[in-house]
Amino acid sequence: MSRSSQPLDNARSPKRSRRNDFETGSGSTLRILRLVNIGRILCRQRRSAGPIPRSPASPGRQSPVRYEVQINLSTRNIVYVGSWPSPNGREEANEGVYYEVHDCDGHTLCPGLVDIQINGAYGIDFSNPSCDFADLRTTCVRLARERGVTSILPTVVSSPPEVYARLLRWRKPAIEEGYNGAKLLGWHFEGPFMSPKYKGAHDASCMLDPTVENVKKIYFSNDVKNDHDSTRIPLVLVTMAPELPGAMDAITHLTKDQNVVVSLGHTDASYEVCHTATKSGASLLTHTFNAMAPFHHRKPGPVGLVVDGTMPRCSVICDGHHVSDVTIKMLRAVRPGGIILVSDGMAASGSEDGEYVLGDVRVTVKDGKATVTGTGTLAGSCATLDQCVGLYRIITGCTWEEAWEAGSLRPAEAVNVDDVGIVEVGKRGDVALWEGVGDNGVYDKDTSKMKVICCWVGGREVN
Report the candidate in 167, 213, 221 with the shortest Cα–Cα distance to residue 190.
Answer: 167
Using the CB atoms, write b or e for 174-195: b if 16+ within 10 Å.
ebbeebbbbbbbbbbbbbbbbb
Rounded (to 5) percent helix, strand, coil in the chain: 25, 25, 50
Whole-angstrom Cα Rg for the chain: 23
Residue 360 catalytic?
no
Q: Classify burial at 217, counting beta carbons within 10 Å of its beta carbon; exposed 0-12, middle 13-18, buried 19 or more.
A: middle
* Sequence-ordered strand ranges (E) for 172-279: 183-184, 187-190, 235-240, 261-264
Question: DSSP string covering 256-270, please?
Answer: IIS--EEEE-SB---
φ, ψ (nearest 5 deg) of residue 413: -65, -35
Residue in 125, 344, 386, 430 annotated catalytic:
344
Q: Is residue 330 helix, strand or coil? A: helix
Question: DSSP string covering 337-351, please?
Answer: TSEEE---B-TTTTS
Amino acid at residue number 99: Y
Catalytic residues: 344
